[in-house]
């Protein structure tokens, strides 16, 4: 069983790598971004609320995000493990996730951080915006999201580093190369425990 987090700045390849890890390890990948975008598209009450924040490049409030993650982690497909992509993003969310897992007598096995240079990420995301037409990927919004990542999510990274559960992986390079680095890092953590 593997319970893990994949952390990284916007555009670092988290979604792509989450899919690949999910397939290789046979665990479900849970992306808060995908869940938010689905709800926005379907215009659910959660989606209407989330869209205001997403369009500005801001994080959706913890109260909304935490409830969504708690509900998702109770589903049957998480029993054999999971990979969280995009959560937790704040120290308060780390504490909330700790509580969810503690209720089940569980903890995280692996926390991976994909690293990449900001200018590389801006170029990647602008390219993706042209290909997919994502309204939340303008240069100003991208730079704002990167700033939020550095000011808020870096505290999450530090917390997991202090616990000794963080492993950093270079997210720059061909997709297959990054996947091999990620899988090697997971294997290294598993064999060390």
Out of 13-22, 53-62, 95-104, 172-181, pick the least confident: 53-62
14 belongs to an annotated ligand binding site:
yes
pLDDT, position 94: 95
Report whether 59 belongs to an annotated binding site. Answer: yes
Could you give the residue ranges of the DSSP H alpha helices within the chain? 14-25, 32-41, 45-55, 62-73, 91-103, 118-132, 139-148, 154-163, 175-192
Question: Residue 57 above 80 pLDDT?
Answer: no
Q: Does domain 2-182 have CATH number 3.40.50.300?
A: yes
Reference 177, options 114, 130, 123; nearest CA is 114
Coil, strand or helix at 83:
strand
Catalytic residue, from 3, 20, 51, 89: name it.
89
Give the model's confidence band at 34: pLDDT under 50 very low, under 70 low, under 90 confident, else very high: confident
Phi, psi of 28 (to 5 degrees): -80, 135
CA distances from 120 to 12, 65, 127, 173 (A): 9, 28, 11, 11
What is the average per-residue pLDDT within 29-37? 83
Active site residue 128: yes
Q: Where are the domains of the chain?
A: 2-182
pTM (2 decimals)?
Answer: 0.83
Active-site entry in 67, 134, 163, 190: 134
Q: Which pLDDT tens digit goes with each residue over 67-111?
A: 778 888 988 999 999 999 989 988 999 999 999 999 999 999 999
pLDDT of residue 136: 65
The verdict on whether 145 is a catalytic residue reads yes
- Among 59-63, 145-149, 161-165, 171-175, where is mean pLDDT lowest? 59-63
């Amino acid at each position: 069983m593997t319970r893990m987090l994949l952390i990284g700045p916007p555009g670092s390849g988290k979604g792509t790598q989450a899919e690949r890890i999910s397939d290789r390890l046979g665990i479900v990948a849970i992306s808060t971004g995908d869940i938010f975008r689905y709800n926005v598209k379907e215009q659910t009450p959660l989606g209407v609320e989330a869209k205001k924040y997403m369009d500005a490049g801001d994080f959706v409030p913890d109260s909304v995000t935490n409830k969504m993650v708690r509900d998702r982690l109770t589903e049957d497909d998480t029993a054999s493990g999971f990979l969280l992509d995009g959560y937790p993003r704040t120290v308060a969310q780390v504490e909330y996730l700790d509580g969810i897992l503690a209720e089940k007598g569980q903890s995280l096995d692996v926390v991976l951080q994909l690293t990449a240079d900001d200018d590389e990420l801006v170029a990647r995301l602008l390219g993706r915006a042209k290909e997919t037409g994502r309204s939340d990927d303008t240069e100003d919004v991208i730079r704002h999201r990167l700033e939020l990542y550095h000011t808020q999510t870096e505290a999450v990274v530090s917390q997991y580093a202090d616990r000794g559960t963080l492993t950093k992986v270079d997210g720059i390079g061909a997709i297959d190369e990054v996947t091999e680095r990620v899988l090697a890092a997971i294997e290294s953590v598993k064999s060390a425990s």
